[in-house]
Structure 1
């Protein structure tokens, strides 16, 4: 029983940190959000939602290589994640990698993200 309580406490802590990261993101403090969300992603690397929000925080704080890395991991885990394709396309555009961007933007559009 004690082990279950510890695990539950750990899950609640991760959820609280995710919400805190989302709050900073919503208020436009993308660098702080990225720091918090990077810790969340380290705790739950298989979960797509925190990783996608981390990628968005990197994108909005002009950390484009980090955004690209996270978005590629999201797409590897969930190839049907249309928003990740859209964000990756935009991230590549901002890096003047238009040919690479085109593929992801087309996929996003075909999946209904645009």
Structure 2
């Protein structure tokens, strides 16, 4: 990642830590568009969308993470939680089960 993108990512992290999720998401959208294979930026974008209650967008980013990195357990959790918050509980179950299998954390099981 080039220096300007690193700086933008750092700014987005600050916004996220200060619970300014929409501001973080706006910055991260640019970062992800410039560096689409950056898993850290895409994960933080999914989290920012989730916390900003932009659940469809969080779902889209989590699905993209899973498509690129199928064994990313956290992406499965983000997707499952996004689905649950949209009252799509049955759709969330397989993602929670897979996250539990990947991490060994049975607390994730529905």
Q: Which has the larger radius of gyration?
A: 1
The Cα shift of 1:46 comes to 1.2
Q: What residue in structure 2 maps to residue 92 of structure 1?
A: 83
Superposed counterparts of 1:58-69, under 5 Å: 58-69=49-60
TM-score, length basis structure 2? 0.92
Tell me the matched-pair count: 105
Between the aligned partners of 1:15 and 1:78, the Cα distance in structure 2 is 22
Tell me, what secondary structure is at the counterpart of 1:111?
helix
- Corresponding residue number in structure 1 for 2:94: 103
Q: CA deviation at 1:87?
A: 0.9
| 2:29 aligned with 1:38 | yes
Gaps of 5+ in 1: 1-9
Runs (4 or more) in structure 1 with deviation over 4 Å come to none
Tell me the TM-score normalised to structure 1 length: 0.89
Output aligned runs, 1:7-86, within 5 Å. Answer: 11-86=2-77
- Residues 10-39 of structure 1, C-alpha deviations (whole Å, 9 max, x = no match): 800000100110110011000000000000
Distance 1:11 1:87 in 2: 27
Provide the rounded CA distance (Å) in 1 between the counterparts of 2:88 and 2:11.
Answer: 33
Could you list the per-position Cα deviations for residues 25-56 of structure 1 after superposition, in whole angstroms to 9, with x for gaps in the alignment? 01100000000000000110111110110000
Which sections of structure 2, spanning at least 5 residues, go unmatched? none
